[in-house]
Amino acid sequence: MKRPLRLLTAAGLMLAASLAAVGGGTAQANTQICDKYGSTTIQNRYVVMNNRWGADTPQCINVTSTGFAITAEHHKATNGAPAAYTAMYLGCHYDACSPGTNLPMRLSGIRSATSSAGFAYPDSGVYNVSYDVWLDPAPNTHGTNRQELMIWFAKRGPIHPVGSRVASATIGGRVWDVWSGFNGSSDVVSYVARSPMTKWSFDVMDFVDDVRTRSKVTTAWYLTSIQAGFEPWVGGTGLAVTTFSAAVSAGVRTPHGSPSPSRSLAPSRSAAPAPTSAAPSASPRSAEPASPDPAATSPAPAAVPTSGDRQSGSVGWLVLGAVVVVLLLARGWLWTRRRRGPQPG
């Protein structure tokens, strides 16, 4: 009888270990980054970077399993460069590539570049809420790319994109003010939403298709990275990316719908020229304040199961197997006891 008892004990220990694995497999501790150019990876897919390139003011980010939140009190002049471009991204940025990325990829070989992001931002401070997309004539992962494409979901305070407003366009079913300029190292085309958004799902290639009509970009150029985050000038605490996803698929592109013909505008005489900067992601701006409107949202896509979800599923099968073993052993032991009768200890 000692052997069945040992087997039952072993099975029980295996069951306990399996339950412990289930409890600890999904636990994730937050990571705080305060280093000026500090970064980390999440979901084994994206890079999160502090990237406080434009200020000496302290700034920290609290990184979670789905995004990050900023803690900072910047005091930058709004007619110059921002304090930072703090973001998470897919692709390559200054030699730091996200795990398993297929970027850079030639534009002619991209079928789609779908992305989704959710943002939270306060009613104070001066900042923009933006995507930063980088393009280059070569598969450049090392330094500044030749073309910057910005998509402003929202802005607050007297800031505007680099350059001047040149047109309006309808892309992804939304109307955008289009700005064009040069930041000292890269050409920049920016799209500013007419009403603020807190989340949106879209195809980045719809904007790339439009940029090709306004710049030197051709289908022989490369998409290097897709980034989502913030450029703060004043304040910073409360800015957060709550969710982010991006996926670039190779193949023959079938546009979801060509951008509507743009209405060209004469350069605004009231807009002061923005200073230039050779630093990465430097896009000095100046514009009218815009109050965030949380109602102007669109649903984010369902979350893709992560490796943690798959691990939890495997552990669940292990637990079930252990329970079956325990039940079978217990049944065999009881059957033996009935057949042989009471045994001496």
Residues acting as catalytic residues: 148, 231
Q: Which residues contact 185 (CB under 8 A, 6 or more apart)?
A: 144, 277, 278, 282
Spatial contact of 247 and 113, defined as CB atoms under 8 Å apart: yes
130 vs 191: CA distance, rounded Å: 9
Compute the Cα dihedral for 114, 120, 123, 126 and give only its sign. Answer: negative
70 vs 61: CA distance, rounded Å: 5
Distances (CA, A) of 228 to 9, 83, 220: 52, 16, 25
Q: State how far Cα 55 lies from the chain centre.
A: 23
Spatial contact of 166 and 264, defined as CB atoms under 8 Å apart: yes
Question: In 10 A of CB 243, how many CB atoms?
Answer: 16
Which three-class secondary structure state does DSSP give residue 330?
helix
Q: Tokens standing for 336?
A: 């033996």
Distances (CA, A) of 54 to 94, 117, 232: 16, 24, 10
Which three-class secondary structure state does DSSP give residue 81?
coil
58, containing H or E segment = none
Spatial contact of 192 and 152, defined as CB atoms under 8 Å apart: yes
Beta pairing, strands 147-156 & 187-193? parallel
74, containing H or E segment = strand 68-75
